[in-house]
Structure 1
Amino acid sequence: MTNLLWITAIAVALVSTPVTKKNLSASANEPAAVSTTRTNYSKGKWIKLFDGKTTNGWKTYAKDSIGGAWKVQDGMLYLDSKAKKEQKLGGGDIIHEKSFGNFHLKLEWKISKNGNSGIIFWAQNDPSKYKAVWHTGPEMQVLDNGGHPDAKIRKHRAGDLYDLIEGPDTAVKPVGEWNKTEIIAKDGTLELKLNGVTTVKTSYGDEIWYSLIGNSKFKTMAAFGRTFSGHIALQDHGDDVWFRNIQIREL
């Protein structure tokens, strides 16, 4: 190989390799193949996961219906933590009935003071095998960075790929303001955006991905981040949180 061809080959390899700040060693439990499932939606067509009026399509994980502490008002889907505590209404993480593999999700959220929540994706809807949605699906963190203790932990702040990859902490808006979020997953590349800022961009389904899991709190969960098709879920972490304009398209 000539020197010019050798240099060109190295350049192509470097450009093609996603960059993270983590150890690049592969996990011994890396699965043999990527699992994907198609939905009934047309590719490229935006659909609403929340109609702004009802909780149609959503249920509490491991339940047949959605808990009463999840309410709809003025085009918002929100968790009323006071009603959950004082009125003993059910809450819990909620999961949408449809599943997606390659997708582009958009939504807006705002969090209460000192609050914590999350947006989970690729969650597996099988309570007989998995205790919670976060046992299978990765999470984009929703947090009051200015008040919740988790903000002191790298990879636990708003916009982070929770406990896997940290992003910049400058993109999130203060408590009470709406944050625009995007999660884009396609053919082995995952990107998280918060208010127009890319907070995370990484590969998945490769040795980098499994190394991230192996260095996280999820390393003992055999099914976590292993299936790249699943459900969108919204987390009940015990604090008031609001969501609106939840829409998705299959890529």
Structure 2
Amino acid sequence: MKNWNCFLNIDRNISQHLGVMILLLLFTAAGCSSDEASSEASGGESDQQEQKSPTGQSQINTLTSEEQQEGWVLLFDGKTTDGWRGVYKENFPEKGWKVEDGLLKVVASGGGEAEFGGDIITENQYSDFEFSLEFKLTEGANSGIKYFVKEIYPEPEGSAVGLEYQLIDDSRPDVEGTWTLASVYELYRAENKEVNPIGEFNKARIVAEGDHVEHWLNGKKVVEYTRGSEEFRNLVAESKYSEHENFGEASEGHILLQDHGHEVAFRNIKIREIDSGESQ
């Protein structure tokens, strides 16, 4: 009996050890599952943040150290309208535009061109530059980024005159040819575009060095042309701009964001002036 009790005690000890080991294995497995779930959740959040900005920036309306070294300057800080004013005005419009959640927004007003808040322009003028922003269109929206804009008097009917990077919902039935998204409005049609859906941000980029101009959309060049070339002047002559002498050939000008009566949101608005002769 003594030996048998000994065996029973040993068996009990083994059972206890096995029970502890099983519990440890269960806790370890649960911990791994928790870590994996946490990792997946974290990864999903990271993906969502990445989707928020076509530039890949985790912070909106800021410049990276690399961008600062390259000479980029923010034209919108996400909080104020400093650096902008109404076209043909001394101050920023009192209505029609708003700053909300880090976005500069056109307020929807029925689709009229420059009829509510009106267009806004940079206080400064630029000649050789690289300009970019992110924009989010609403369904059916129309807007635009104009550059080499000059305020001429008497004021022209509608918007101020300048070359235009077209911002528009391409699904509109009245949109085709040179009126489409990222085109040079009225002059050159954007080709080979990759467009994010309405309600998501897209990135527009304009490069102007001398007479050479490029339009980019979401990291892809979609238009390239030369201001003042024979082709350019022929296209101008056949467009609505034919009455404007030397249209699009100013050596410098303002950058304009258009109020066309539809809600459009802008962010990460920035510019880098290019030194004369700098290669792209």
Q: Same fold, TM exceeding 0.5?
A: yes
| 1:44 positional shift | 4.8
Root-mean-square deviation (Å): 2.4
Q: In 2 relative to 1, CA 105–49 (structure 1 residues): closer, same or farther, beyond 3 Å?
A: same
Aligned counterpart, 1:113: 139
Q: Which of 1 and 2 has higher RCO (CA within 8 Å, sep 6+)? A: 1
Whether the 8 Å CA contact 2:193–2:222 is kept in 1: the answer is no
From the two aligned structures, give the one with the greater helix fraction.
Answer: 2
| 1:116 positional shift | 0.3
2:218 paired with 1:220: no
Whether the 8 Å CA contact 1:78–1:240 is kept in 2: the answer is yes
Aligned counterpart, 1:122: 148
2:173 paired with 1:149: yes
Aligned counterpart, 1:80: 107
| 1:170 positional shift | 3.5
Deviates more, 1:170-179 or 1:238-247: 170-179
- Structure 2: distance between partners of 1:84 and 1:115: 8
Aligned counterpart, 1:17: none
2:223 paired with 1:200: yes
Taking only the aligned residue pairs, the percentage that are identical comes to: 37
Aligned length: 204
| 1:207 positional shift | 1.8
Aligned counterpart, 1:69: 96
- Structure 1: distance between partners of 2:180 and 2:206: 16
Whether the 8 Å CA contact 1:66–1:91 is kept in 2: the answer is no
Query: TM-score when scaled to structure 1?
Result: 0.75
Whether the 8 Å CA contact 1:43–1:250 is kept in 2: the answer is no
Aligned counterpart, 1:12: none
- Structure 2: distance between partners of 1:211 and 1:84: 31
| 1:82 positional shift | 4.8
- In the TM superposition, 1:37-116 aligns within 5 A as 44-67=70-93, 68-82=95-109, 90-116=116-142
- Structure 2: distance between partners of 1:238 and 1:132: 16
- In the TM superposition, 1:152-191 aligns within 5 A as 153-168=176-191, 170-191=193-214
2:163 paired with 1:138: yes
Aligned counterpart, 2:18: none
| 1:49 positional shift | 1.1
| 1:51 positional shift | 1.3
Give unmatched runs, 5+ long, in structure 2: 1-67, 275-280
Which amino acid in the other structure matches residue 226 of structure 2?
A: S
Q: In 2 relative to 1, CA 84–54 (structure 1 residues): closer, same or farther, beyond 3 Å?
A: farther
- Greater C-alpha radius of gyration: 2
- Structure 2: distance between partners of 1:94 and 1:174: 26
Which amino acid in the other structure matches residue 167 of structure 2?
A: V
Deviation digits for residues 126-182 of structure 1, max 9, x if unmatched? 4x3442685531000001112x2342x200010101110001264222110101010
| 1:66 positional shift | 1.9
| 1:240 positional shift | 0.5
Which amino acid in the other structure matches residue 162 of structure 2?
A: G
Which amino acid in the other structure matches residue 193 of structure 1?
A: W
- Structure 1: distance between partners of 2:110 and 2:169: 21
Which amino acid in the other structure matches residue 224 of structure 1?
A: F
- Structure 2: distance between partners of 1:64 and 1:73: 23
| 1:239 positional shift | 0.5
| 1:212 positional shift | 2.0
